[in-house]
Amino acid sequence: MRFSGFKVLKEGLTGNKGWSPHWRSPDPKTEYDIVIIGGGGHGLSTAYHLAKEYGAKNIAVLEKGYIGGGNVGRNTTIVRANYFLDGNSQFYSHSLKKWENIEKELNFNAMVSQRGQIQLFHSDAQRDATIRRGNSIINQGDEAEMLDVPTLKKMVPYLDFENARFPIYGGMIARRSGTARHDAVAWGYARGADQHGVDIIQNCEVTGIDIEGGVVKGVQTTRGAIKAKKVGIVVAGRSGQVAAMAGMRLPIESHVLQAFVTEGLKPIVDHVISFGMGHFYISQSDKGGLVFGGDLDFYASYAQRGNLPMMEHVMEAGMALMPAIGQAKVLRSWGGIMDMTPDGSPIIDKTHIDGLFIDCGWCYGGFKAVPASGDCFAHLIHTGRPHKVAERYRLDRFRTGVGLMDEEGTGSQHNLH
Ligand SMILES: Cc1cc2nc3c(=O)[nH]c(=O)nc-3n(C[C@H](O)[C@H](O)[C@H](O)COP(=O)(O)OP(=O)(O)OC[C@H]3O[C@@H](n4cnc5c(N)ncnc54)[C@H](O)[C@@H]3O)c2cc1C
């Protein structure tokens, strides 16, 4: 089934009876060539790229819950390519280019909206750092544009420009950045993978990884043992637990990240806006809700909900930047489990076990990485070599200290990235 304007019109006029499920629900086979553990954005994108780009056959994605139930359906949907450091900037640039084509490629409305992301600055030092980042982004081939206060006042008049503590000195806009509908991205990749023959198996938790003589042989699951020649671990906040099944101890801590949405309002925030003096960012959904978030809860946890101190912190930052937000009623808040690395950059690598691969460490920024991560992880699994834009995402950098990419300059403390 392909989506088209004609199909939508026809179905609308004939009672919507001609739609078919987006993907099959097969029972797991006893053996696959490749098993991907984790049906989040990265796992589904990996399976899709393996089947579509690299022609791999006989692939299963094993998901312990349901498609879209993890972080891929819990994030604040921001996609951007404004990274500073060599290694990250090429990768996220590659990802943004893939976002620009994703709907055509998947024949699925992922509601990609390149509304522009504005990063604000509030001091001379921040202005210098922002200009430096902007130059790095331009050198990398992407766009960055400085905005002065009069221009910003026209674009985002509802912000508190003269705030006594954090006056706005200016901003930088990345016009190709924006948002995409998170769960549509999961559904689109699931549908695309299924169309290329991938078995997507929900309610199938991996409980063990079978290894013989240093070679992966398959996995144990709640739906029985499954043999596999290659296994990819792509489980975001659960990376530490699943890698432990293969005897690995990862340099990852899992932390909760919360987000919030208000009641639906008339359109007011038509960009993505990031506060420079606190961890607060905001956009407006197509339903009208103001979607915003901030910092991690500062303790390691596997709970998919956060606590009040961070909620208060986020609300305070929001009020400092945009006092009018105090008039809006918060409808919902939720949390997801972030796989935090010490340098804040991800891992896409082989492991010491033959045939076992890992893709993790996306911290709080892995949604924007979904298209490129799937592409690069599929490349690695298929060819055994890293994709050229993901060469720096090596696991051993945390052992050797060589090639760390501390994008935020916060040192090696997981919860500060
Ligand atoms: C509140 C919040 C806001 C965020 N905002 C942004 C943002 O604006 N922009 C951005 O780029 N990123 C953002 N992120 C980060 C982004 O959502 C994550 O980095 C990314 O989604 C993680 O990759 P994933 O989609 O594959 O994860 P997930 O969707 O969590 O997928 C992992 C899957 O593995 C499954 N799994 C775990 N263990 C097992 C097992 N043993 N067996 C089988 N399956 C298993 C899980 O059930 C899960 O479905 C945000 C995250 C949160 C929580």
Domains in the chain (CATH in brackets) are 5-78+182-251+343-416 (3.50.50.60), 115-176+253-340 (3.30.9.10)
pLDDT of residue 415: 83
**Among the listed residues 245, 253, 228, the one whose alpha carbon sits nearest the alpha carbon of residue 342:** 253
pLDDT of residue 129: 95
Check pocket membership of 43 for ligand 1, CB cut-off 6 A: yes
Percent of the chain with pLDDT over 70: 100
Ligand 1 atom 50: residue of nearest CA:
75
Check pocket membership of 206 for ligand 1, CB cut-off 6 A: yes
Three-state SS at 323: helix
Unique residue bearing structure tokens 């009040």? 308
Give every CB contact of residue 401 below 8 A, 6+ residues apart in sequence: none
pLDDT of residue 298: 85
Q: Return mean pLDDT, the chain.
A: 96
Ligand 1 closest atom vs CA 207: 41
pLDDT of residue 322: 97
Give every CB contact of residue 109 below 8 A, 6+ residues apart in sequence: 3, 103, 181, 184
Rounded CA-CA distance 143/166 in Å is: 26
pLDDT of residue 410: 85
Q: What averages of pLDDT result for each successive group of 10 residues across the chain (417 residues)?
A: 93 95 97 98 98 95 97 96 92 97 97 97 97 93 96 98 95 97 97 98 98 98 98 98 98 96 97 95 97 93 92 96 96 96 97 98 97 98 98 97 91 85
Check pocket membership of 365 for ligand 1, CB cut-off 6 A: yes
Check pocket membership of 75 for ligand 1, CB cut-off 6 A: yes
pLDDT of residue 411: 86
Which tokens is 121 given? 């600055």
